[in-house]
Amino acid sequence: MSDQVTLELSKEQREVLLQGLRYVRSSIMLNVEEPTPEYVSERSSRLREVTDLASLLGGRTVGEKAAVSG
């Protein structure tokens, strides 16, 4: 079984997903916890994942297929 999913998104659908990712990124950034090395590492990793996914979605034109790893 493959870990990739192919999606065809309209411009509006892509914008909705990007808006949601911006919300998720803001939520991660606004979370207040003691800045332990573990927390900082986990937070950085989560932010990187969100940024990578947003870059993947933002770099596609309408009608192009995007392979998304899961």
Written as one string, the DSSP assignment of 1-69 is --SEEEEE--HHHHHHHHHHHHHHHHHHHH------HHHHHHHHHHHHHHHHHHHHHHT--TT-EEEEE
Which pLDDT value is given to residue 4? 82
Which pLDDT value is given to residue 60? 44
Tell me the C-alpha distance between 54 and 69, whole Å.
Answer: 13
Domain ranges of the chain: 4-69
Tens of pLDDT, residue by residue, the chain (70 residues): 568 888 888 999 999 999 999 999 999 999 999 999 999 999 999 999 999 999 888 854 333 445 555 4
